[in-house]
Chains A and B, each alone.
Chain A
Amino acid sequence: MSLSFAPSATSKMLRSVVPKCQQQAAAVAAARQSSRRFLSTTTTARTQPCRPTAAVSQRCNSGAQQQQPRRYKHKTVEEAKSRYRTGPFSWKAGALFVLTGGGLVWYFEFEKQRMQRKRVAEATKGVGRPKVGGDFELVDQNGKPFSSADLRGRYSLVYFGFTHCPDICPEELDKMAQMFDLVEAERPGALVPVFVTCDPQRDDPATLKTYLSEFHPRFVGLTGTYEQIKDICKAYRVYFSTPRDAKPGVDYLVDHSIYFYLMDPEGDFVEALGRQHSPDDAAKVILGHVKDWRGRIKQ
Protein backbone atom coordinates (compact mmCIF):
# COMPACT_ATOMS: atom_id res chain seq x y z
CA MET A 1 0.00 0.00 0.00
CA SER A 2 2.67 2.42 1.00
CA LEU A 3 4.54 1.65 -2.19
CA SER A 4 1.71 2.78 -4.40
CA PHE A 5 0.85 5.69 -2.18
CA ALA A 6 4.23 7.35 -2.08
CA PRO A 7 4.69 7.79 -5.87
CA SER A 8 1.25 9.31 -6.28
CA ALA A 9 2.12 11.85 -3.56
CA THR A 10 5.33 12.73 -5.40
CA SER A 11 3.52 13.09 -8.66
CA LYS A 12 1.02 15.47 -7.02
CA MET A 13 3.83 17.56 -5.65
CA LEU A 14 5.55 17.64 -9.03
CA ARG A 15 2.36 18.69 -10.72
CA SER A 16 1.98 21.68 -8.40
CA VAL A 17 5.59 22.82 -8.69
CA VAL A 18 6.11 22.38 -12.40
CA PRO A 19 2.85 22.47 -14.34
CA LYS A 20 4.68 21.91 -17.67
CA CYS A 21 5.54 18.45 -16.63
CA GLN A 22 2.00 17.53 -15.79
CA GLN A 23 1.57 15.13 -18.63
CA GLN A 24 4.84 13.35 -18.00
CA ALA A 25 4.33 13.24 -14.28
CA ALA A 26 0.97 11.54 -14.75
CA ALA A 27 2.63 8.95 -16.94
CA VAL A 28 5.38 8.57 -14.33
CA ALA A 29 2.86 8.01 -11.58
CA ALA A 30 1.12 5.37 -13.61
CA ALA A 31 4.43 3.64 -14.31
CA ARG A 32 5.40 3.72 -10.64
CA GLN A 33 2.22 2.10 -9.62
CA SER A 34 2.92 -0.85 -11.85
CA SER A 35 6.30 -1.73 -10.40
CA ARG A 36 8.91 -0.69 -7.89
CA ARG A 37 11.68 -1.41 -10.34
CA PHE A 38 10.77 1.59 -12.45
CA LEU A 39 11.29 3.99 -9.62
CA SER A 40 14.89 4.75 -10.48
CA THR A 41 14.34 5.07 -14.20
CA THR A 42 11.39 7.36 -13.73
CA THR A 43 13.35 9.54 -11.36
CA THR A 44 15.87 10.32 -14.07
CA ALA A 45 13.11 10.77 -16.56
CA ARG A 46 11.49 13.14 -14.11
CA THR A 47 14.45 15.42 -13.50
CA GLN A 48 15.58 15.90 -17.09
CA PRO A 49 12.51 17.35 -18.71
CA CYS A 50 11.64 19.36 -15.61
CA ARG A 51 14.84 21.39 -15.58
CA PRO A 52 13.73 25.00 -16.00
CA THR A 53 17.18 26.50 -16.72
CA ALA A 54 20.58 25.41 -17.90
CA ALA A 55 22.07 26.59 -14.62
CA VAL A 56 19.90 24.29 -12.62
CA SER A 57 20.66 21.46 -14.97
CA GLN A 58 24.37 22.17 -14.60
CA ARG A 59 24.11 22.14 -10.85
CA CYS A 60 22.20 18.90 -10.92
CA ASN A 61 24.73 17.21 -13.19
CA SER A 62 27.79 18.39 -11.31
CA GLY A 63 26.23 17.32 -8.03
CA ALA A 64 25.68 13.84 -9.38
CA GLN A 65 29.24 13.67 -10.68
CA GLN A 66 30.70 14.79 -7.39
CA GLN A 67 28.84 12.10 -5.57
CA GLN A 68 30.01 9.31 -7.86
CA PRO A 69 33.69 9.18 -6.74
CA ARG A 70 32.46 9.07 -3.17
CA ARG A 71 30.46 5.97 -3.84
CA TYR A 72 33.12 4.15 -5.88
CA LYS A 73 36.77 4.41 -4.95
CA HIS A 74 37.95 4.09 -8.54
CA LYS A 75 37.93 6.73 -11.22
CA THR A 76 37.70 4.40 -14.19
CA VAL A 77 36.15 1.05 -14.88
CA GLU A 78 39.60 -0.35 -15.67
CA GLU A 79 40.82 0.70 -12.27
CA ALA A 80 37.86 -0.91 -10.57
CA LYS A 81 38.46 -4.07 -12.51
CA SER A 82 42.14 -4.07 -11.75
CA ARG A 83 41.36 -4.49 -8.08
CA TYR A 84 40.44 -8.04 -8.91
CA ARG A 85 43.22 -8.55 -11.38
CA THR A 86 45.00 -10.97 -9.01
CA GLY A 87 41.78 -12.50 -7.87
CA PRO A 88 41.60 -13.46 -4.21
CA PHE A 89 45.38 -14.10 -4.14
CA SER A 90 47.68 -11.56 -2.56
CA TRP A 91 50.87 -11.85 -0.53
CA LYS A 92 48.82 -11.59 2.63
CA ALA A 93 46.63 -14.48 1.66
CA GLY A 94 49.72 -16.42 0.61
CA ALA A 95 51.49 -15.81 3.91
CA LEU A 96 48.40 -16.80 5.84
CA PHE A 97 48.09 -19.96 3.79
CA VAL A 98 51.72 -20.94 4.28
CA LEU A 99 51.63 -20.19 8.01
CA THR A 100 48.44 -22.12 8.59
CA GLY A 101 49.64 -25.02 6.46
CA GLY A 102 53.02 -25.12 8.19
CA GLY A 103 51.39 -24.95 11.60
CA LEU A 104 49.03 -27.77 10.80
CA VAL A 105 51.80 -29.97 9.43
CA TRP A 106 53.91 -29.33 12.52
CA TYR A 107 51.00 -30.08 14.82
CA PHE A 108 50.17 -33.23 12.90
CA GLU A 109 53.75 -34.49 13.10
CA PHE A 110 53.96 -33.64 16.80
CA GLU A 111 50.76 -35.48 17.58
CA LYS A 112 51.81 -38.42 15.46
CA GLN A 113 55.09 -38.77 17.34
CA ARG A 114 53.30 -38.42 20.65
CA MET A 115 50.85 -41.14 19.73
CA GLN A 116 53.73 -43.33 18.62
CA ARG A 117 55.46 -42.93 21.97
CA LYS A 118 52.21 -43.52 23.80
CA ARG A 119 51.71 -46.71 21.87
CA VAL A 120 55.22 -47.92 22.71
CA ALA A 121 54.79 -47.02 26.37
CA GLU A 122 51.39 -48.65 26.60
CA ALA A 123 52.18 -51.71 24.56
CA THR A 124 54.25 -53.00 27.44
CA LYS A 125 51.76 -51.91 30.07
CA GLY A 126 48.84 -53.90 28.81
CA VAL A 127 47.07 -56.45 30.89
CA GLY A 128 48.20 -60.02 30.48
CA ARG A 129 51.48 -59.23 28.81
CA PRO A 130 54.80 -60.28 30.29
CA LYS A 131 55.82 -57.55 32.64
CA VAL A 132 59.39 -56.36 32.51
CA GLY A 133 60.82 -55.10 35.74
CA GLY A 134 59.66 -55.53 39.28
CA ASP A 135 60.50 -55.01 42.89
CA PHE A 136 63.99 -55.65 44.18
CA GLU A 137 66.10 -55.22 47.29
CA LEU A 138 69.77 -54.59 46.60
CA VAL A 139 72.76 -52.66 47.92
CA ASP A 140 74.14 -49.51 46.27
CA GLN A 141 77.81 -48.65 45.72
CA ASN A 142 77.99 -47.00 49.15
CA GLY A 143 76.87 -50.18 50.86
CA LYS A 144 73.43 -48.78 51.65
CA PRO A 145 70.24 -50.73 50.97
CA PHE A 146 68.52 -49.67 47.78
CA SER A 147 65.16 -50.97 46.69
CA SER A 148 62.79 -50.48 43.78
CA ALA A 149 60.84 -48.01 45.95
CA ASP A 150 63.79 -45.61 45.75
CA LEU A 151 63.27 -45.35 42.01
CA ARG A 152 59.59 -44.38 42.19
CA GLY A 153 58.65 -40.88 41.13
CA ARG A 154 61.35 -40.61 38.49
CA TYR A 155 62.20 -42.24 35.23
CA SER A 156 65.05 -44.69 35.50
CA LEU A 157 67.45 -46.07 32.94
CA VAL A 158 68.58 -49.52 34.01
CA TYR A 159 71.63 -51.20 32.54
CA PHE A 160 73.04 -54.61 33.41
CA GLY A 161 76.75 -55.31 33.17
CA PHE A 162 79.85 -56.20 35.11
CA THR A 163 83.09 -54.42 35.90
CA HIS A 164 85.29 -56.99 34.15
CA CYS A 165 83.43 -56.43 30.92
CA PRO A 166 85.94 -56.28 28.05
CA ASP A 167 84.44 -53.98 25.45
CA ILE A 168 80.71 -53.48 25.19
CA CYS A 169 79.79 -52.41 28.74
CA PRO A 170 82.37 -49.62 29.04
CA GLU A 171 81.30 -48.25 25.66
CA GLU A 172 77.65 -48.48 26.61
CA LEU A 173 78.25 -46.89 29.99
CA ASP A 174 80.00 -43.97 28.33
CA LYS A 175 76.97 -43.68 26.09
CA MET A 176 74.68 -43.86 29.08
CA ALA A 177 76.61 -41.02 30.74
CA GLN A 178 76.13 -38.89 27.60
CA MET A 179 72.42 -39.71 27.40
CA PHE A 180 72.02 -38.87 31.06
CA ASP A 181 73.77 -35.53 30.64
CA LEU A 182 71.58 -34.66 27.67
CA VAL A 183 68.40 -35.51 29.56
CA GLU A 184 69.66 -33.82 32.70
CA ALA A 185 70.32 -30.61 30.78
CA GLU A 186 66.67 -30.38 29.78
CA ARG A 187 64.87 -32.05 32.67
CA PRO A 188 67.08 -32.02 35.77
CA GLY A 189 66.32 -34.82 38.20
CA ALA A 190 63.82 -36.59 35.98
CA LEU A 191 66.04 -39.57 35.24
CA VAL A 192 68.09 -41.91 37.45
CA PRO A 193 70.83 -43.91 35.72
CA VAL A 194 71.16 -47.34 37.31
CA PHE A 195 73.86 -49.95 36.76
CA VAL A 196 73.11 -53.43 38.05
CA THR A 197 75.96 -55.91 38.13
CA CYS A 198 75.47 -59.41 36.82
CA ASP A 199 78.61 -60.53 38.61
CA PRO A 200 77.89 -60.01 42.33
CA GLN A 201 80.70 -62.27 43.41
CA ARG A 202 83.43 -59.95 42.16
CA ASP A 203 81.53 -56.66 42.08
CA ASP A 204 81.16 -55.56 45.67
CA PRO A 205 80.01 -52.01 46.49
CA ALA A 206 83.58 -50.68 46.69
CA THR A 207 84.51 -52.12 43.28
CA LEU A 208 81.35 -50.68 41.77
CA LYS A 209 82.10 -47.31 43.29
CA THR A 210 85.58 -47.03 41.76
CA TYR A 211 84.34 -48.43 38.46
CA LEU A 212 81.31 -46.16 38.09
CA SER A 213 83.09 -43.01 39.24
CA GLU A 214 85.03 -43.20 35.97
CA PHE A 215 81.83 -42.88 33.98
CA HIS A 216 79.52 -40.54 35.88
CA PRO A 217 79.35 -39.47 39.52
CA ARG A 218 75.57 -39.72 39.47
CA PHE A 219 75.36 -43.37 38.45
CA VAL A 220 73.72 -45.68 40.96
CA GLY A 221 75.51 -49.03 41.12
CA LEU A 222 73.62 -51.98 42.53
CA THR A 223 74.85 -55.32 43.72
CA GLY A 224 73.63 -58.05 46.08
CA THR A 225 73.76 -61.76 46.61
CA TYR A 226 73.76 -64.17 43.71
CA GLU A 227 70.11 -65.01 44.37
CA GLN A 228 69.05 -61.37 44.49
CA ILE A 229 70.83 -60.63 41.24
CA LYS A 230 69.33 -63.71 39.66
CA ASP A 231 65.88 -62.49 40.68
CA ILE A 232 66.28 -58.98 39.30
CA CYS A 233 67.75 -60.32 36.07
CA LYS A 234 64.77 -62.63 35.76
CA ALA A 235 62.37 -59.77 36.44
CA TYR A 236 63.99 -57.66 33.73
CA ARG A 237 64.24 -60.63 31.38
CA VAL A 238 68.00 -60.27 31.31
CA TYR A 239 70.03 -63.24 30.25
CA PHE A 240 73.31 -63.68 32.09
CA SER A 241 75.80 -66.46 32.41
CA THR A 242 77.65 -65.86 35.65
CA PRO A 243 78.86 -69.09 37.22
CA ARG A 244 77.22 -69.54 40.60
CA ASP A 245 80.27 -70.79 42.50
CA ALA A 246 83.23 -69.32 40.72
CA LYS A 247 86.41 -70.04 42.60
CA PRO A 248 88.36 -66.97 43.70
CA GLY A 249 91.26 -66.19 41.42
CA VAL A 250 89.63 -67.78 38.40
CA ASP A 251 88.91 -65.21 35.77
CA TYR A 252 85.72 -65.45 33.76
CA LEU A 253 83.57 -63.26 31.63
CA VAL A 254 79.83 -62.84 31.82
CA ASP A 255 77.60 -62.97 28.82
CA HIS A 256 74.59 -60.74 29.28
CA SER A 257 71.90 -58.74 27.51
CA ILE A 258 72.98 -55.26 26.57
CA TYR A 259 69.84 -53.16 26.60
CA PHE A 260 69.04 -50.01 28.48
CA TYR A 261 65.68 -50.43 30.14
CA LEU A 262 63.69 -47.23 30.45
CA MET A 263 61.28 -47.48 33.38
CA ASP A 264 58.56 -44.95 34.16
CA PRO A 265 58.00 -43.29 37.57
CA GLU A 266 55.63 -46.09 38.54
CA GLY A 267 58.24 -48.74 37.86
CA ASP A 268 56.68 -49.95 34.63
CA PHE A 269 58.80 -50.78 31.64
CA VAL A 270 58.56 -48.22 28.85
CA GLU A 271 61.08 -49.00 26.16
CA ALA A 272 64.34 -50.81 25.59
CA LEU A 273 67.17 -48.79 24.05
CA GLY A 274 69.81 -50.74 22.23
CA ARG A 275 73.14 -50.27 20.55
CA GLN A 276 71.41 -48.90 17.46
CA HIS A 277 70.53 -45.73 19.37
CA SER A 278 73.13 -42.99 19.47
CA PRO A 279 73.25 -40.98 22.72
CA ASP A 280 71.35 -38.18 20.97
CA ASP A 281 68.64 -40.51 19.69
CA ALA A 282 68.29 -42.18 23.06
CA ALA A 283 68.10 -38.86 24.90
CA LYS A 284 65.40 -37.74 22.48
CA VAL A 285 63.40 -40.89 23.09
CA ILE A 286 63.74 -40.55 26.86
CA LEU A 287 62.85 -36.86 26.84
CA GLY A 288 59.83 -37.62 24.69
CA HIS A 289 58.51 -40.04 27.27
CA VAL A 290 59.39 -37.74 30.15
CA LYS A 291 57.41 -34.92 28.54
CA ASP A 292 54.46 -37.20 27.89
CA TRP A 293 54.26 -38.18 31.54
CA ARG A 294 51.15 -36.61 33.04
CA GLY A 295 51.90 -37.50 36.66
CA ARG A 296 54.30 -35.76 38.94
CA ILE A 297 58.04 -36.27 38.55
CA LYS A 298 60.22 -35.70 41.61
CA GLN A 299 62.75 -32.93 41.29
Chain B
Amino acid sequence: MGVFDYFSSAESKRAEEVRKGAVAPDRSERKRCWEARDSFYGCLDKHNVIDSLNGDGKKTAEKECTAENKQFEQDCAAAWVTYFKKFRVADYQKKKTFERLEKEGANKM
Protein backbone atom coordinates (compact mmCIF):
# COMPACT_ATOMS: atom_id res chain seq x y z
CA MET B 1 0.00 0.00 0.00
CA GLY B 2 2.72 2.36 1.02
CA VAL B 3 4.78 1.55 -2.05
CA PHE B 4 1.85 2.04 -4.41
CA ASP B 5 1.04 5.22 -2.65
CA TYR B 6 4.60 6.41 -3.14
CA PHE B 7 4.54 5.59 -6.85
CA SER B 8 1.19 7.16 -7.49
CA SER B 9 2.17 10.29 -5.64
CA ALA B 10 5.46 10.50 -7.58
CA GLU B 11 3.50 10.12 -10.77
CA SER B 12 0.97 12.76 -9.91
CA LYS B 13 3.76 15.04 -8.72
CA ARG B 14 5.48 14.69 -12.08
CA ALA B 15 2.17 15.32 -13.90
CA GLU B 16 1.66 18.40 -11.79
CA GLU B 17 5.15 19.64 -12.67
CA VAL B 18 4.52 19.07 -16.33
CA ARG B 19 1.24 20.99 -16.14
CA LYS B 20 2.96 23.90 -14.45
CA GLY B 21 5.79 23.84 -16.92
CA ALA B 22 8.45 23.16 -14.29
CA VAL B 23 9.74 20.16 -16.24
CA ALA B 24 9.59 19.48 -19.95
CA PRO B 25 7.33 16.57 -20.87
CA ASP B 26 9.02 13.46 -22.22
CA ARG B 27 8.04 11.53 -25.29
CA SER B 28 5.18 9.55 -23.75
CA GLU B 29 3.82 12.62 -21.99
CA ARG B 30 3.90 14.54 -25.23
CA LYS B 31 2.07 11.73 -26.95
CA ARG B 32 -0.61 11.63 -24.26
CA CYS B 33 -1.01 15.39 -24.52
CA TRP B 34 -1.35 15.29 -28.30
CA GLU B 35 -3.98 12.57 -28.03
CA ALA B 36 -5.96 14.65 -25.53
CA ARG B 37 -5.59 17.66 -27.84
CA ASP B 38 -6.82 15.69 -30.83
CA SER B 39 -9.89 14.44 -29.01
CA PHE B 40 -10.60 18.01 -27.89
CA TYR B 41 -10.16 19.22 -31.48
CA GLY B 42 -12.45 16.41 -32.59
CA CYS B 43 -15.16 17.60 -30.24
CA LEU B 44 -14.76 21.19 -31.46
CA ASP B 45 -14.99 20.00 -35.06
CA LYS B 46 -18.23 18.21 -34.24
CA HIS B 47 -19.74 21.45 -32.95
CA ASN B 48 -18.19 23.66 -35.61
CA VAL B 49 -16.10 25.62 -33.18
CA ILE B 50 -12.82 27.13 -34.31
CA ASP B 51 -12.01 29.58 -31.56
CA SER B 52 -12.59 28.00 -28.17
CA LEU B 53 -11.13 30.97 -26.29
CA ASN B 54 -13.48 33.78 -27.27
CA GLY B 55 -17.12 34.59 -27.87
CA ASP B 56 -19.69 31.99 -28.88
CA GLY B 57 -17.02 29.39 -29.52
CA LYS B 58 -15.95 29.57 -25.91
CA LYS B 59 -19.51 29.12 -24.69
CA THR B 60 -20.16 26.15 -26.93
CA ALA B 61 -16.84 24.56 -26.08
CA GLU B 62 -17.46 24.94 -22.37
CA LYS B 63 -20.93 23.47 -22.71
CA GLU B 64 -20.29 20.62 -25.15
CA CYS B 65 -16.65 19.65 -24.68
CA THR B 66 -16.25 19.83 -20.92
CA ALA B 67 -14.89 16.32 -20.52
CA GLU B 68 -12.44 16.63 -23.41
CA ASN B 69 -11.26 19.98 -22.19
CA LYS B 70 -10.70 18.64 -18.70
CA GLN B 71 -8.64 15.75 -20.03
CA PHE B 72 -6.74 18.15 -22.29
CA GLU B 73 -5.86 20.38 -19.37
CA GLN B 74 -4.86 17.42 -17.27
CA ASP B 75 -2.54 15.84 -19.82
CA CYS B 76 -0.88 18.97 -21.16
CA ALA B 77 1.12 21.82 -19.72
CA ALA B 78 -1.08 24.87 -19.17
CA ALA B 79 0.99 26.87 -21.62
CA TRP B 80 0.52 24.18 -24.24
CA VAL B 81 -3.26 24.17 -23.80
CA THR B 82 -3.42 27.88 -24.55
CA TYR B 83 -0.94 27.48 -27.39
CA PHE B 84 -2.91 24.69 -29.04
CA LYS B 85 -6.20 26.54 -28.68
CA LYS B 86 -4.69 29.62 -30.31
CA PHE B 87 -2.89 27.52 -32.88
CA ARG B 88 -6.20 26.04 -34.00
CA VAL B 89 -7.49 29.51 -34.82
CA ALA B 90 -4.27 30.59 -36.51
CA ASP B 91 -4.11 27.39 -38.51
CA TYR B 92 -7.72 27.80 -39.64
CA GLN B 93 -7.09 31.38 -40.71
CA LYS B 94 -3.98 30.33 -42.57
CA LYS B 95 -5.96 27.69 -44.43
CA LYS B 96 -8.70 30.19 -45.24
CA THR B 97 -6.16 32.70 -46.51
CA PHE B 98 -4.58 30.11 -48.76
CA GLU B 99 -7.97 29.12 -50.12
CA ARG B 100 -8.86 32.76 -50.75
CA LEU B 101 -5.54 33.41 -52.49
CA GLU B 102 -5.94 30.33 -54.59
CA LYS B 103 -9.39 31.47 -55.64
CA GLU B 104 -7.92 34.81 -56.60
CA GLY B 105 -5.50 32.97 -58.82
CA ALA B 106 -2.32 33.30 -56.82
CA ASN B 107 0.50 31.04 -57.85
CA LYS B 108 2.15 28.67 -55.43
CA MET B 109 5.82 29.42 -54.99
Q: Are B27 and A252 in contact (CB under 8 A)?
A: no
Q: Are A170 and B30 in contact (CB under 8 A)?
A: yes
Q: Are B26 and A210 in contact (CB under 8 A)?
A: yes
A-B contact count (CB 8 A): 38
Q: Are A253 and B24 in contact (CB under 8 A)?
A: no
- The CA of A252 and the CA of B21, in the complex, are separated in Å by 8
Q: Are A207 and B24 in contact (CB under 8 A)?
A: yes
- The CA of A210 and the CA of B87, in the complex, are separated in Å by 27
For window 145-176 of A, CB contacts with B under 8 Å fall at 163-164, 166-167, 170
Q: Are B79 and A251 in contact (CB under 8 A)?
A: yes
Q: Which residue of A lies closest to B24 (CB)?
A: A163
Q: Are A166 and B80 in contact (CB under 8 A)?
A: yes
- The yes or no answer to B50 lying at the interface (CB within 8 A) is no
Residues of A within 8 A of B26 (CB): 210-211, 214
* A164, A202, A211, A253 interface centre (most CB from chain B within 10 Å): A164
Q: Which residue of B lies closest to A202 (CB)?
A: B24
- The CA of A164 and the CA of B25, in the complex, are separated in Å by 7
- The yes or no answer to A88 lying at the interface (CB within 8 A) is no
- The yes or no answer to A63 lying at the interface (CB within 8 A) is no
Contact (A164, B79) CB under 8 Å given A211-B24, A214-B27 = yes
Q: Are B83 and A166 in contact (CB under 8 A)?
A: yes
Residues of B within 8 A of A203 (CB): 24
1/0 contact trace for A175-214 toward B, CB 8 Å? 0000000000000000000000000001100010011001
Q: Are B34 and A252 in contact (CB under 8 A)?
A: no
Q: How large is the interface on A (under 10, 10 to 19, 20 to 34, 35 or more residues)?
A: 10 to 19
Secondary structure at the A interface, as helix, strand, loop or mixed, is loop
1/0 contact trace for A49-68 toward B, CB 8 Å? 00000000000000000000
Residues of B within 8 A of A249 (CB): 20, 22
* Neighbour of A164 across the interface among B27, B77, B84, CB < 8 A: B77
Contact (A253, B30) CB under 8 Å given A163-B24, A211-B24 = no
Residues of B within 8 A of A250 (CB): 21
Contact (A253, B22) CB under 8 Å given A167-B34, A214-B27 = no
- The CA of A249 and the CA of B23, in the complex, are separated in Å by 10
- The CA of A211 and the CA of B84, in the complex, are separated in Å by 21
- The yes or no answer to B78 lying at the interface (CB within 8 A) is yes
Residues of A within 8 A of B83 (CB): 166, 253
Distance in Å: Cβ of B76 to nearest Cβ of chain A: 8
- The CA of A210 and the CA of B24, in the complex, are separated in Å by 10
Residues of B within 8 A of A207 (CB): 23-24
Q: Which residue of A lies closest to B34 (CB)?
A: A167
Residues of A within 8 A of B27 (CB): 170, 214
Distance in Å: Cβ of A254 to nearest Cβ of chain B: 10
For window 62-80 of B, CB contacts with A under 8 Å fall at 77-80
Q: Are A251 and B21 in contact (CB under 8 A)?
A: yes
Distance in Å: Cβ of B24 to nearest Cβ of chain A: 4
Distance in Å: Cβ of B30 to nearest Cβ of chain A: 6
Q: Are B22 and A166 in contact (CB under 8 A)?
A: no
12 A-B contact pairs sorted by A residue (CB < 8 Å): A164-B21, A164-B24, A164-B77, A166-B79, A166-B83, A170-B27, A170-B30, A207-B23, A214-B27, A251-B22, A252-B21, A252-B79
Assuming A167-B34, A249-B22, what are 16 further A-B pairs, CB within 8 angstroms? A163-B24, A164-B24, A164-B79, A166-B79, A166-B80, A166-B84, A167-B84, A203-B24, A249-B20, A251-B20, A251-B21, A251-B22, A251-B77, A251-B78, A251-B79, A252-B79
